Structure 1
Amino acid sequence: MDVASPEFWVAVLQIIAIDIVLGGDNAVVIALACRRLPEKQRNLGIFWGVFGAIALRVVLVFFALNLLAIPFLKILAAVLLLWIGTRLLQPEPANNGHHIDASTTLLGAIKTIIIADAVMSLDNVIAIAGAARDSLSLVVFGLVVSVPIIVLGSKLVMKLMDRFPITIFIGAGLLGWIAGDMSVTDAVSKEWVNTNAGYLHWLAPVCGALLVVTTGRWFASRAKTKTAPVDLADDINKPL
């Protein structure tokens, strides 16, 4: 893909948006893993932990790009991406799901960051592979730009998401958009779509984005209804 083409920069922006939306937890993991290090070692722990996490993610995405060339795998990945986008709109659990043991040594903190990032990176890897459109250079460029944003600006990004919830919906919709695009560019569907239904190249992403947002909102509203506190005063005043 040509660096001067609009498609290149659209894909770069998609990768950056994916990492910011899905990578907030990674910044929390880094903070938790390094919190017991001496002050002088914390920056080193963050730097090498992030460096290792980026390198590992590039390797994972490289394999994902090659695997997605296998028939039906893009369609399966698109289904998984739709689920990930829907999950993104669900209420956060009370403990945020973080169980990271802080290390007292620099090497231990770096190892914790890299292992935790590998475990948590499935959604990022699939989404980035879909947005990269078979270009590893796009993956590297997007990660190099976005990961420092996550680490250095994680608190700002989280506050932005808290203050403007629509940014979460935009991120979830982006995942649905990429899933729709992946479904019509699979090895078994690409040729048929190009020949008989070219309009699916824009219709499928739109439908994917709408499906994620509407389904995610519906599940979120159901979850809030189930967890809503019961008004004891109303129960006491009810007639027997």
Structure 2
Amino acid sequence: MEPTSAVFWIALIQIIWVNILLSGDNAVVIALAARALPAHQQKKAIVAGSVAAIVMRIVLTLVAAQLLLLPWLKTVGALLLVYIGVTLLLPEGQAGGQGAKTATLGAAIRTIMVADLVMSLDNVVAVAAAAMGDFTLLVAGLAISIPLVIFGSSLLLGIIGRFPVIVWVGAALLGFVAGEMLVGDPALDQPLHRVDAMLGISHHSLALIAGGIGAALVLALGKFFLVRHQKA
């Protein structure tokens, strides 16, 4: 596709727009992971995490169709998101949590990369469709999106500093994404459709219910470990 053509620029705008719409949960993870760092390292974590996330998304997009067909991949991803959601609520030393004084830049970046890798499994399909098989267009669109993701993460980090309850909202969001992801696993397709039929609801409604359960699970586990830590 020629960069001088109108089709190229329309597709480029579509990729940037789709990536902005789909990166809200990723920005939440980046902000939550970076909040535990000293102030002088927070910006480094946001920039490094955002760039790494975009690079991984490019790689994922190239193999998205094959990855999404692998059985149990989304189940493993859902479990990882629940774990990450819980650890982001906990102080250092509890289930891998990161404390405000002892978290490291490397640990924060690893958390960002793992969470983004998992959450991007579905997102990359939309990005790949917008790119229409053009690798140059894909890379350009996602690269332009980097400063937008960084801005969103930085903005959230500032808001979290003023309203700590957003940390719990962000953790619940990860649990919600985990629940929805679990329902989308090809290995569980047939049994879950039987559940749909038994409950008399659509598969989309089941995904929303699973998301709600996932959010509640993350919050409940986070509260449990926090109470146990306070009593120790």
TM-score when scaled to structure 2?
A: 0.58
Q: In the TM superposition, what is the alpha-carbon distance from 1:127 to its structure 2 partner?
A: 0.7
Question: Does the Cα contact within 8 Å between 1:21 and 1:168 map onto a contact in 2?
Answer: yes
Evaluate the alpha carbon distance shift between residue 143 and residue 19 of structure 1 in structure 2; reply closer, same or farther with a 3 A threshold. Answer: farther
- Separation in 2 of the partners of 1:213 and 1:51? 24
Tell me if structure 1 keeps the 8 A contact 2:20–2:145. yes
1:126 has 2:110 as partner: no
Larger Rg computed on CA atoms: 1
Aligned counterpart, 1:59: 58
CA-CA distance at 1:46 after TM superposition: 8.3
Consecutive unaligned residues in structure 1, runs of 5 or more: 36-44, 101-111, 231-240
Deviations 1:130-183 (A, max 9, x none): 234353348937655323321x42432423651445632552344135414522
80, 84, 87: which is aligned to 2:81?
A: 84
Distance 2:49 2:174 in 1: 25
Q: CA, structure 1 residues 64+220, in 2 after alignment: closer, same or farther (shift >3 Å)?
A: farther
Task: Rate the CA distance shift 1:64–1:199 in 2: closer, same or farther, 3 A.
Answer: farther
After TM superposition, the structure 1 = structure 2 runs for residues 19-34 of structure 1, keeping only pairs within 5 Å, are 19-24=26-31, 25=33, 28=37, 31-32=40-41
- Unaligned runs of 5+ residues in structure 2 are 1-9, 93-98, 132-140
- In 2, Cα distance between equivalents of 1:84 and 1:51: 18
| 1:149 alignment counterpart | 152
Aligned in 2, Cα 1:181/1:143: closer, same or farther, shift over 3 Å? Answer: farther
Distance change in 2, residues 1:87/1:56 (3 Å): closer
1:64 and 1:55 map into 2 onto residues whose CA distance is 15
CA distance, structure 1, for counterparts of residue 230 and residue 110 of structure 2 = 35
> Alignment partner of 2:164: what SS?
helix
Percent identity of the aligned residues?
A: 9
| Separation of aligned partners in 1, 2:205 and 2:223 | 27
The residue identity in structure 1 corresponding to 2:103 is: H
Q: Which is worse superposed, 163-172 or 24-33?
A: 24-33
For 2:117, the aligned partner's letter is V
Shift of residue 207, structure 1, vs aligned partner:
2.8
**Equivalences, count:** 193
1:16 counterpart (20, 23, 28): 23
The alignment's TM-score, normalised by the length of structure 1, stands at 0.57
- How far, CA to CA, are the matches of 1:161 and 1:66 in structure 2? 39
Q: Distance in 1 between matches of 2:85 and 2:46?
A: 26
1:98 maps onto 2:100 in alignment: no
Q: Deviations over 1:190-237 (max 9, x none)?
A: 8x95xx96955313312321221222233223213322247xxxxxxx
Per-residue CA deviations over 1:5-30 (Å, capped at 9, x if unaligned) read: xxx978853x2221122112258599
> 1:163 and 1:32 mapped to 2: Cα distance?
22
User: Counterparts of 2:91 and 2:169 in 1: how far apart (Å)?
Assistant: 19
Amino acid across the alignment from 2:58 = V
Say if 2:175 and 2:217, in contact at 8 Å, map to a contact too.
no
* Contact 1:176 1:212 (C-alpha < 8 Å) held by counterparts: yes
2:176–2:214 contact (8 Å) kept in structure 1: no
**Counterpart contact for 2:78–2:182, Cα < 8 Å:** no
Q: Indicate if the aligned counterparts of 1:19 and 1:147 stay in contact, CA closer than 8 A.
A: no
- Whether the aligned pair in 2 keeps the contact of 1:172 and 1:209 (CA below 8 Å) is no
1:80 match: secondary structure? helix
Quick one: distance in 2 between partners of 1:84 and 1:175?
8
Distance across 2 between alignment mates of 1:31 and 1:53: 20
